[in-house]
């Protein structure tokens, strides 16, 4: 298995495990961010502090005035809308490289959804909840990257998808730097099963792009590849595509297995299908056989370890539960 995980660059709300800079002078605890500290390159930022509101500070809120949203500090009646918009644009435009964001949930600056919108003058706001000003700027500029709030990352499916995405994008960013056709071929080959679990349609499209590199200028190749990569990684894989990939891998080792071993594997697949075990159970069974029988093609597949094993954890999750987690 490849072990050379490059460190993704992640912008994080500074109040999450980095500084006591919330409006009340507190810091938010996050076991997930703690785990990531040695494995990613964090860029901590507190937009409210950066625009001069200080710590501690009187809270700010999003207020609708005749359909126009403003960022207001009610106690002082200070309007910091322009300050926040200007800072968000300046900061985000200054990011040369970034792979994802972990932002404070429900914050009028950093929240990406479910931020309360208050009524000022005029008719009530059309929506009672929305995005914070900084969070909205992130979504508008970097919608294709991994963007999450710390609260949503408590969900195992969301967390696993976030990790898979930031490490896949980080490796692609390195490939894009080299502008090497060989590196792009290797990247596609290394991720073939993982991508297939996400989307067979987009995986085939990525394969076509790589196979026809000789027909197009290099800039067009990378532009098209990146476009389809973002689509592929936009949502996590579902249960049945994962099962199809596991069965595909099983085909490489099945001739070496006895009847009881095969039954054991299919039993694990059934338990995964019925939500009784996580994806890691059948995956690790298959991986043990891949290593045992020296199946080189599969040993190199990111499907088995899409991110560092230090971040692998046993999750009590209905692995095949279908829910709409996505904005």
Closest of 3, 20, 7, 4 to residue 170, by C-alpha = 7
Categorize the per-residue pLDDT at 27 as very low, low, confident or very high, splitting at 50, 70 and 90: very high
Categorize the per-residue pLDDT at 66 as very low, low, confident or very high, splitting at 50, 70 and 90: confident
**Is 136 buried (19+), middle (13-18) or exposed (0-12) by CB count in 10 A?**
buried
Cβ neighbours for 20, distance < 8 A, ≥ 6 positions apart: 26, 27, 55
Closest of 62, 46, 73 to residue 130, by C-alpha = 62
Q: Where are the domains of the chain?
A: 9-54+82-113+132-154, 156-232, 239-311
Task: Return mean pLDDT, the chain.
Answer: 93
Cβ–Cβ contacts within 10 Å for residue 24, how many?
A: 10
pLDDT at 128 over 50: yes
Whether omega for the bond prior to residue 200 falls within 30 degrees of 0, making it cis, is no
- Dump the DSSP string for 9-74: EEEEETTBTT---STTS--B--HHHHHHTTTSEEEEE-HHHHTT--SS----EEEEETTEEEEEET
Categorize the per-residue pLDDT at 109 as very low, low, confident or very high, splitting at 50, 70 and 90: very high
Which helix (H) or strand (E) segment is 12 a member of?
strand 9-13
pLDDT of 67 reads: 83
pLDDT tens-place string over residues 233-242 = 999 998 999 9
Beta strands in the chain (DSSP E): 9-13, 41-45, 61-65, 68-73, 78-79, 100-103, 115-119, 129-130, 146-149
pLDDT of 2 reads: 45
């Amino acid at each position: 298995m490849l072990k050379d995980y490059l460190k993704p660059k992640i912008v994080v709300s500074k109040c999450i495990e980095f500084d006591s800079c919330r409006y009340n002078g507190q810091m938010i605890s996050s076991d997930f961010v703690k785990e990531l500290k040695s494995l990613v390159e964090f860029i901590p930022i507190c937009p409210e502090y950066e625009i001069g509101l200080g710590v501690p500070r009187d809270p700010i809120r999003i207020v609708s005035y005749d359909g126009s949203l403003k960022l207001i500090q009610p106690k002082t009646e200070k309007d910091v809308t322009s300050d926040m918009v200007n800072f968000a644009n300046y900061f985000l435009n200054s990011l040369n490289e970034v792979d994802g964001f972990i932002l404070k949930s429900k914050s009028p600056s950093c929240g990406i959804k479910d931020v309360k919108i208050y009524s000022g003058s005029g008719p009530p706001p059309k929506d009672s909840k929305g995005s914070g000003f900084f969070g909205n700027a992130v979504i508008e500029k970097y919608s294709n990257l991994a963007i999450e709030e710390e609260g949503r990352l408590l969900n195992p499916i969301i967390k696993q998808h976030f990790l898979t995405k930031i490490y896949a994008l980080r490796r692609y960013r390195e490939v894009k730097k080299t502008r090497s056709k060989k590196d792009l071929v290797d990247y596609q080959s290394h991720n073939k099963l993982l991508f297939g679990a996400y989307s067979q349609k987009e995986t085939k499209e990525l394969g076509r792009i790589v196979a026809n590199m000789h027909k197009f200028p290099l800039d067009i190749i990378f532009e098209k590849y990146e476009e389809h990569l973002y689509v592929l990684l936009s949502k996590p894989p579902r249960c049945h595509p994962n099962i199809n990939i596991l069965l595909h891998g099983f085909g490489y080792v099945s001739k070496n297995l006895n009847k009881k071993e095969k039954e054991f594997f299919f039993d694990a697949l059934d338990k995964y299908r019925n939500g009784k075990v996580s994806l890691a159970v059948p995956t690790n069974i298959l991986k043990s056989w891949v290593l045992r029988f020296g199946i080189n093609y599969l040993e190199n597949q990111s499907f088995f370890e899409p991110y560092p094993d230090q971040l692998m954890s046993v999750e009590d999750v209905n692995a095949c539960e279908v829910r709409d987690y996505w904005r």
